[in-house]
Amino acid sequence: MSSAFILFGPAHLIALALALIVPVVLAALVRWRSGLDRAFRYGLALLLAAGWLAWLVLFALRGWLTVSNELPLNLCDWATVALVVALLCPSQRAYELGYFWGLGGTVQGLLTPDIARGFPDPQFLFFFLGHGGIIAALLYLTLGARMRPTLRSLPRVVVATLAYAGVAGAADAVLGTNYGFLRAKPANASIMDFLSPWPWYIPELVAIGLLSMFVYYVPFGLMDLSRRYRTQARVSPSREISGSGPRS
């Protein structure tokens, strides 16, 4: 019989480690042999789709499936769809959505899972299969397929996230659900416990989301600045040399 889930217990820490180690290993392998890329991308896409379906089947079999959890209206659901598209047919737009939504939303879910049962219960396995798969997919696309967000990604992701909030908010208003945690904080411990009561935590979430997008983009922005600086440093001496000849 499965025991209760233990936050940051051995099973939780191992699941977190696998979500990071697996894509790094896959990225290293594909750089050694590029022909493996398609197999890895298709395998990760299958993993994400299987994890999402298995979660729904589990809830249906255990009688947990209700209107509050059966619709694909959590941000992790949208991140899953975006990453499956990016894995199957490389798309910059789909990748950048999966990258920012996955890091901005799924990481919080992995750190403070909304589950009651620990390993080896299917609830534990399918939760980390789906959520860990999101992190593995976006890291593989970044490190292995060498995709990356650009400065233009930021406004596009902001608009798409507002669209998500509009859809989830409309569903919550009509169905009385809590998709996107727009009507109440999650029942389990999370970073939202440190925010103001409803509805004041919503603008705080917006601010945190914008800040997190900036943080997740910073490494790429710094790389661009460094590359531009090195390019200018190489060009400047050549200009000085070409213009330093004798003048009549």
The pLDDT of residue 237? 63
| pTM recorded for the entire structure | 0.89
The pLDDT of residue 201? 93
C-alpha to C-alpha distance for 209 and 161, rounded to whole angstroms:
10
Helices 122-143, 10-32: axis angle to 10 degrees equals: 30
Give the chain's residues under pLDDT 50. Answer: 248
Contact in structure between 213 and 158 (CB atoms under 8 Å): yes
The pLDDT of residue 246? 53
Give 23-70 pLDDT, tens digit per residue: 999 999 999 998 999 999 999 999 999 999 999 999 999 999 999 999
- Domain ranges, ordered by start, for the chain: 10-239
The pLDDT of residue 248? 44
Torsion of CA 223, 224, 225, 227, to 10 degrees: 80
> DSSP letter at 151?
T
Q: Retrieve residue 147's tokens.
A: 């995709």
The pLDDT of residue 231? 80
C-alpha to C-alpha distance for 243 and 78, rounded to whole angstroms:
56
Query: What would you report as the CA-atom Rg of the chain, rounded to the nearest whole angstrom?
Result: 22
Q: Is the peptide bond between 120 and the residue preceding it cis, with omega within 30 degrees of 0?
A: yes
The pLDDT of residue 47? 95
